[in-house]
Amino acid sequence: MTETPLLNISSSNQNENKTNSALCPDLNDWWEIVYYIVPKYIDTICVIGILGNVFVVFTYSLHKGSLKIAEIYLMNLAVADLIFLTCLPFWAVNIRNKFNWPFGNFLCRSTSASISLNTYTSIYLLVAVSVDRYLSFVHTLNHRGIRSKTTAKGICLLTWFFGILLSVPAFMFRTVKHFPLWNISACTLDFPTPSWVTAERLILNIVGFALPSAAIIFLNFSTIRSLQKKARELRGLRTKSCKEHKDTKATRLIFIVVLMFLLCWTPYHFFVFLDVLYRTEVIKGCLWGEVLNFGEQFGYTLATTNSCINPVIYVFVGKYFRQKASEVFSQFISCGFPLSWVSSKKSLHI
């Protein structure tokens, strides 16, 4: 995680408050709203998200059939979201305590690193599944050998390793530090110099969002164009392929998952980018510091929504996920009460 749930409060405003306190607006009432609303919202997200992602993991794990390639990525995404959601309650308490961290140094470091892990792992898993869809529809013949379950599992392992590597600074430099100005002991990133803070924010912004988002947008637009071209060709031939219909439905699910991720995370990263400009004094002023504090706080709160929304998408958009879930559910029902709407012979194609 970046400084967001906590400490742009300290880093962006401390010096400004000392030198330009007369120019800084009194926003205590606004922060009281943050302390009241955000923890309640995070608690709600955690309950819905944990139940939903456990449901997804159980469905993929307990189903008798083997996972498809896209399902391997989506299951890893659900695991990443679960790790993230189990850490969020600590930050809800932290915000409720007005950023006074009550859990000690180890939990400060470990929860921060775990949340940072989700930030990187989630978006690169979406890159991987977007590449899979791209190869499936745009370069169907040329890269058929690359699209294997073994390759998908290897990419997932590599993604987790990459996420862990990028989360090391969060574990190393997070610490509980006392801030006399607010009389709190906050869990903050305590880098050796201010330039480290700027570098960390740039890495988050560029490596953690801008580059993978550009790849995701390119891959998905290319896939959409390919699907539209194939649809026109089929209409011209007046034929309808059952496989193409299933692939289109499966790809629609991926598109919606990707779209919701970008909608949830873009505002937060926009404010991270503005914070980099503020730190490098491209934009100045105490008012900007306050705007960025609130912007990142609510931007990150919106971003947390993404971790609970994917299971909802799977249920309402993923026809084949629903079939798979119903088959898993039927395994726990007495043999005397079969579900007539479950068909174990249906072809499941994520």
User: Token pair for residue 92?
Assistant: 């809800």
- List the chain domain ranges: 8-328
Distance between CA atoms of residues 268 and 29, nearest Å: 22
Distance between CA atoms of residues 253 and 55, nearest Å: 17
Q: Report yes or no: 251 and 220 within 8 Å, Cβ to Cβ.
A: no
CA 26 remoteness from chain centre:
33
CA distances from residue 269 to 3, 43, 153, 305 in whole angstroms, order as listed: 12, 23, 29, 15
User: Token pair for residue 226?
Assistant: 């390919």
User: How high is the pLDDT of residue 122?
Assistant: 94
CA distances from residue 73 to 93, 154, 195, 328, 340 in whole angstroms, order as listed: 32, 11, 36, 20, 31
Instruction: Output the tens digit of pLDDT for each of the chain's 350 residues.
Output: 334 444 443 333 334 343 444 456 667 778 888 899 999 999 999 999 999 999 999 999 988 888 888 899 999 999 999 999 999 999 999 999 999 999 999 999 999 999 999 999 999 999 999 998 888 887 765 666 677 889 999 999 999 999 999 999 999 999 999 999 888 999 999 999 888 999 999 999 999 999 999 999 999 888 888 887 877 776 666 655 555 555 566 677 888 989 999 999 999 999 999 999 998 889 888 878 888 888 888 899 999 999 999 898 888 887 778 888 888 888 777 444 444 444 444 444 44
Per CATH, the number for 8-328 is: 1.20.1070.10
Write down the pTM of the prediction: 0.84
| CB-count exposure of residue 214 (10 Å: 0-12, 13-18, 19+) | exposed
Q: Report yes or no: 278 and 288 within 8 Å, Cβ to Cβ.
A: yes
Distance between CA atoms of residues 147 and 142, nearest Å: 10
- Residue for token digits 């960390």? 200
Q: Report yes or no: 336 and 328 within 8 Å, Cβ to Cβ.
A: no
Q: Report yes or no: 89 and 42 within 8 Å, Cβ to Cβ.
A: yes
Distance between CA atoms of residues 102 and 104, nearest Å: 6
